Amino acid sequence: MIRTIAVDDEPLALQLVTGYIKRTPGLELAGSFDNPQEALEFVINEKVDLVFIDIQMPDLTGIEFTRALTGGPKVVFTTAYEKYALEGFKLDVVDYLLKPFSYDEFLKAVGKAAKLLKIEQGEPEKVESNNEFLFLKSDYKIRRINFNDILYIEGLKDYVKVYTAGESKPVLSLVTMKLLEAKLPPAKFMRVHRSFIVNLERIETIERSRIVFGKTYIPVSEQYKDKFQEFLDKNFL
């Protein structure tokens, strides 16, 4: 788990970031602070891997906070002002999020931080699996995902969304598409697009080079078209 804190003197902004942290698998909310000095003291005394911090705050700015860190956590600036971007670059922060930012933008920043932390800590990504199921970390839990239940998988850089039968929401997990693909049975699953893997046994409708799952249309890209056509030819009557 990536121990994370949020620092912002604006209550609504702080609430937004803490909410994003809580809903993101792989992140642990270690604390939220409206006072940057208290946050700095916490970082000095506790293990913190990642900090989301506003820049313009009284007494101690986000820039001053970051300068005070020595070999500490990764930092992501959250601000309403573009003018501090150069300063953030000089401080080697992970990312620079302009308010108001979306959850997708937040996830991209987390992905960048996760990569850097894994490189520094020498921790390889891990997913346990066998021929019938695998385990994925999601929402503070370890979820068992049966291969037969998977409809398709969508890749989002360092995250994946696993869509399963009977579930209204996908399982979101901090793991790369490449690693997950290597754990899937190749006879059952196929990469049909840079961002999509499908369960071949769950395909019921194909329309204009698109695989249809309910209201979702998954494109078959040129890179994977020949391989997918080979599958179709073997099973075509």
pLDDT digits (tens, 9 = 90+) for 158-187: 899 999 998 889 999 988 898 899 889 999
* Domain shared by 9 and 93, yes or no: yes
Domain identity same for 86 and 190? no
**Is residue 128 assigned to a domain?**
no
CATH of the domain at 205: 2.40.50.1020
The mean pLDDT value for 64-73 works out to 84
From 86, 121, 156, the end of a domain falls on 121
Q: Are residues 22 and 68 in contact, defined by beta-carbon separation less than 8 angstroms? A: no
Q: Residue 150: what pLDDT? A: 97
Q: Is residue 127 part of a domain?
A: no
Where does the pLDDT of residue 12 fall: very low under 50, low under 70, confident under 90, or very high at 90 and above?
very high
| Matching residue, tokens 């990642």 | 50
The answer to whether residues 140 and 183 belong to one domain is yes
pLDDT of the residue at 109: 93
| Same domain, residue pair 195 and 217 | yes
**Is pLDDT at 89 greater than 70 in this prediction?**
no
Domain match, 8 and 115 both: yes
Predicted confidence at residue 125, as pLDDT, reads: 53
| Boundary-marking domain end, from 68, 86, 121 | 121
Domains in the chain: how many in total? Answer: 2
CATH code for position 23: 3.40.50.2300
Residue 129 pLDDT > 60: no
For all residues of the chain together, what is the average pLDDT? 89
70 and 107 housed in the same domain: yes
CA 174 to chain centre: 5
List the structure tokens of 221. 């890209």
pLDDT score for 81: 78
Output the CA torsion sign for 193, 198, 201, 204.
negative
- One domain for residues 112 and 172: no
Q: 63 in a domain, yes or no? A: yes
Residues 138 and 108 in one domain: no
Give the range of the structural domain holding residue 165, as residue numbers without chain letter: 133-234
pLDDT for residue 209: 87
pLDDT band at 206 (very low <50, low <70, confident <90, very high): very high
pLDDT confidence bin for 142, thresholds 50/70/90:
confident
Look at residue 44 and tell me if it is in a domain: yes
Check pLDDT > 70 for residue 84: no
| 103 and 16 in a common domain | yes
CB crowding 124-160: b at 16 or more within 10 Å, else e: eeebebeeeebbbbbeeeebebebebbbbbbbebbbb
- Distance (Å, whole) CA 8 – CA 54: 5
pLDDT score of 88: 62
* Whether residue 139 sits in one domain with residue 105: no
- Output the pLDDT for position 28: 95
C-alpha closest to that of 113 among 198, 216, 21, 230: 21
> What is the percent of the chain with per-residue pLDDT over 90, rounded to a whole number?
62
Q: Is the pLDDT of residue 195 over 60?
A: yes
171 and 64 in one domain?
no
Instruction: Please report which confidence band the pLDDT of residue 92 belongs to, taking 50, 70 and 90 as the band edges.
Output: confident
Looking at 68, 93, 121, the residue that finishes a domain is 121
Mean pLDDT calculated for residue range 102-112: 94
Is 126 within the bounds of a domain?
Answer: no
Instruction: Indicate whether 88 and 43 sit together in one domain.
Output: yes
The confidence score (pLDDT) of residue 82 equals: 76
Distance CA 86, CA 13 (A): 23
- Which amino acid belongs to residue 172? L
